[in-house]
Amino acid sequence: MVSDNIGKEGVVRQTRLGDLKLYKRGKVRDVYELSASESGRESMLLIVASDRISAFDVVMDDPIPDKGKILTKMSLFWFKQMEDIVKNHVIASDPRDYPEICHQYEDQLRDRSMLVKKAKPLPVECIVRGYLAGSGWKDYKETGMICGIRLPEGMKESQELPDPIFTPSTKAEGGLHDQNISFEEAAKLVGRDTAEAIRDLSLKIYEKGRRYAAERGIIIADTKFEFGFVDGALVLIDEILTPDSSRFWPADEYQPGRSQKSFDKQFLRDYLLSIKWPKKPPPPKLPPDIINKTREKYMEALARLTGQSI
């Protein structure tokens, strides 16, 4: 594994697990494939969360210390919480329980990896919005709608929606931007029965997560889920209700009509907007205080929602 140090913090920008086959390298996660012979069972994926961070679909050159561990801990926590709603792809998260070929990398994999079933992912991202923010706010100002869903007139930025809405998007690769689509367009991509199933599951997961977070002083304004098929069954994959995939707002500072303080990477986005970065490569150099404050926000989200720390 390639790692760098910032102060006393071990920072993982990219992994190279030489004996394992690299399946793909995403914006944040490095994914390795274990064959049936290596796993002793069916094909599996080993997902390793790096400390990379992206904004506006561009990966920053500067990582956020411990971010991969935070994302992994939060996803594992929420996967467990949602098991009564939907099954997920997780097999194990303790490297000692991984196939033997992985054991040589135990120190590097601890706290930032998951062994999962290899799913056939759906080509849509499942976004649920409970509040009017981000691209939803932009669309609403222009059209009065989000993904073809008509909303009441006169709504303010960050205002709570009458009911949470399901607003799917395409899954873009290679630095391209995801595109919001209507439910009907999603149904054409995955089939109506599957589209209805992921819509209903997404809304149920969001509602449960929102209620839980509210008791801990956090508003989950919106979030993103991904689903796939394993042996013909629909399962939840990737990550769930993390600061990378969600907007977390402190409830005691919430005020409609403006953008909100947050425990997610909106803090980084706001900084990048303030310096008028054009939202395309190359990314700017991140000042140490922006890196540290971003880490602090992720850490606070982890502590508030799960009671855990790094």
Determine the Cα–Cα distance for residues 172 and 191; give it in Å rounded to an integer.
19
Check the CA dihedral 118-119-125-128 and report its sign: negative
Give the pLDDT of residue 1. Answer: 40
Q: Which amino acid is at 281?
A: P
Fold (CATH) for 121-277: D-amino Acid Aminotransferase; Chain A, domain 1 (3.30.470)
Per-residue confidence in pLDDT tens, the chain, 310 aa: 444 433 335 799 999 999 999 999 999 999 999 987 777 777 899 999 999 999 998 999 999 999 999 999 999 999 999 999 999 999 999 999 999 999 999 999 999 999 999 999 999 999 999 999 999 999 999 999 999 999 999 999 999 999 999 999 998 665 566 789 999 999 999 999 999 999 999 999 999 999 999 999 999 999 999 999 999 999 999 999 999 999 999 999 999 999 999 999 999 999 999 999 999 999 999 999 999 999 999 999 999 999 999 8
Which pair of tokens denotes residue 85? Answer: 């709603």
Annotated domain spans of the chain: 2-69+88-118, 121-277
Determine the Cα–Cα distance for residues 230 and 88; give it in Å rounded to an integer.
9
Give the pLDDT of residue 4. Answer: 42
Determine the Cα–Cα distance for residues 3 and 161; give it in Å rounded to an integer.
43
Residue 44 pairs with which residues in a beta bridge? 34, 117
2-69+88-118 and 121-277: identical CATH topology? no
pTM for this model (two decimals): 0.93
HSE of 25, CA atoms in CB hemisphere, 13 A: 11
Give the pLDDT of residue 177. Answer: 67
Structurally, at CATH architecture level, domain 2-69+88-118 sits in: 2-Layer Sandwich (3.30)
